[in-house]
Chains A and B, each alone.
Chain A
Amino acid sequence: MLLLTCPCCGVTAEETEFSNGGEAHLKRFGPGSTDAEYEAYMFARKNPRGVHFERWRHAYGCGKWFLMARDTMTLEVYGTYKAQTTEPPADIVDKIKARRPEWEGYK
């Protein structure tokens, strides 16, 4: 059971109070983009073994979306941050690097 802290309302709760929304920081492609770009946006996923940036929603709480860094090999949560962010914030990246020196960084 994951224990998550919502960065919007500050509540820490069990995973059952939240819902997962898939990979974060996807670059959105719409009308006018190529088929390959649209496919990459809609379907292709990093699905990494290790550090994963993802979207969550505090579904049975304040209802807000937020973002989170989590390890898919250990289920460790590195931190949560606001949805209005285009790439992982520096403090979270530093924290991950301290825990996982071999991590290649966000790309």
Chain B
Amino acid sequence: MKRYSAFAIAREAMRQHTGWTKAWASPEPRTHYDVVIVGAGGHGLATAYYLGKNFGITNVAIIEKGWLGGGNTGRNTTIIRSNYLQDPSAAIYEKARSLYETMSQDLNYNVMFSPRGVMMLAQTEHEVRGYKRTEMANKLQGVETRFIGPAEVKRLVPIMNIEGPRYPVLGALWQARGGTARHDAVAWGYARACSDMGMHVIQNCEVIGVESVGGEVSAVATTKGTIGCKKLGIVVAGHSGHLAELAGFRLPVESVALQAMVSEPIKPCMDVVVMANTVHGYLSQSDKGEMVIGGGADHFNNYTQRGSWMHIEETVRSLVETFPMLSRLKMLRQWGGIVDMTGDRSPIISKTPLGNTFINCGWGTGGFKAIPGSGWAMAELMAKGESPLADAFSMYRFREGRFIDESVAAGVAH
């Protein structure tokens, strides 16, 4: 792998950019690997990366039915924050957020992490109390957040109408170290680093069966033939229920559509991320100038990557009330992703009923921010059989009644 640097750009500029090499290899699959990861989204790739980096396990294949990052990783609105209520969530999301700070250097790939600050608006008394409680919880967890008043909200985001008739802005939970990153770059950067360690990133290859011997996984059947493995990691977000069925178990997960859209590009007008959870809308401005808009998830099971029109309408309607200038903008693109929602709205990083088979799913509407922390924990779980960051997120918590209830703090799309 050639290192990217300012010097490399200068060198290539001198020779018509003929010296760049492919960022990652596209090999044909071997018949056997130590570890097979299903799903080359951010979480699957990060798992593979940390298996190699932290545990020296590099005989690894990451198998993807479509293209790299073509699932939710390439479809999300890239909000990164770690101001969760429960301790296990704060631990893993804060680990992830801190890894984002050094990711570009670590991967030698610019993921454009932009810690511009994330503001979660409180627009009802209930939300004010809820966020003040989260602020206290975050203090105990060592996560830096602050509850700010309406005047400071207005100072940070002048384009906001804080005196909306129905939902005036009463304050906000402010995480100055939260922000955004370039989603594709996260997938590409990990893929390049994995490929460089000798791992195989195999695209356009769907896993269609899971084979086992004596209660332990032995191979996966794929559209490119059978591929043997000692350990299997299933990291397929919205398709987790389907893969679990192939592996012979059921999950507390349902797949629904979540949509987002971007406007035409305009001059810089907002340099923080704003989330309005009561009215289900969130907003940031991309480096290209587009306003990036997300809303609430659909309510029914859906694998089509198409959402309902009413949610677009709902999202835009509520945002226009808080950001009147948006009403003049044309929308350029709109799309959907299939997100995996668990019973307590917290993720699953877990062993499964099938031996040597692990699952990482349930990140639902908010897993982009977790990618490095999740990969870190999943790799440790797969390598050692346990992980302090992952243990609370076992799929057996539903049987044992140990829910990690974030739906009060963050039950909306984010």
Contact = CB atoms under 8 A, between A and B. Distances in A.
Interface string A24-54: 0000000000011011101111111100101
Pick the 9 closest A-B CB pairs, nearest first: A47-B241, A43-B252, A44-B250, A39-B399, A20-B300, A43-B343, A43-B398, A20-B299, A72-B303
Contacts of B252: 39, 43-45
B341 to A, nearest CB: 10
A68 B225 CA distance: 38
B253 to A, nearest CB: 6
Contact of A46 (B241, B299, B310): B241
Contacts of A36: 399
A73 interface: yes
Interface size class of B (residues with CB under 8 A): 20 to 34
A105 interface: no
B309 interface: yes
Nearest to B344: A43
Residue among A2, A19, A44 with the highest chain B CB neighbour number at 10 A: A44
B336 to A, nearest CB: 12
Contacts of B239: 49
Interface residues of A, number: 28
Interface of A: 1-2, 15-16, 19-20, 22-23, 35-36, 38-40, 42-49, 52, 54, 70, 72-75
Nearest to B313: A16
A35 B310 CA distance: 39
B304 interface: yes
Interface of B: 239, 241-242, 245, 250-255, 299-304, 306, 308-310, 343, 398-400
Contacts, number: 69
B250 A40 contact: yes
Contact of A22 (B250, B254, B303): B254
B158 to A, nearest CB: 35
Given A15-B310, A74-B304, A75-B302, A45 B399 contact: no
Contacts of B343: 42-43
Question: Helix, strand, loop or mixed for chain A's interface?
Answer: mixed
Contacts of B308: 1-2, 15
Contacts of A70: 300
A48 B241 contact: yes
Given A15-B310, A45-B253, A48-B242, 10 more contacts: A1-B310, A15-B308, A35-B399, A40-B250, A45-B250, A46-B241, A47-B242, A47-B255, A52-B301, A70-B300
Given A1-B308, A45-B251, A47-B254, A72 B398 contact: no
A2 B298 CA distance: 12
A46 B240 CA distance: 11
A73 B250 contact: no
Contacts of A47: 241-242, 251, 253-255, 301
B332 to A, nearest CB: 22
Contacts of B304: 72-75
A79 to B, nearest CB: 16
A53 to B, nearest CB: 10
Given A39-B399, A45-B252, A16 B241 contact: no
B68 to A, nearest CB: 22
B301 A54 contact: yes
Nearest to B340: A47
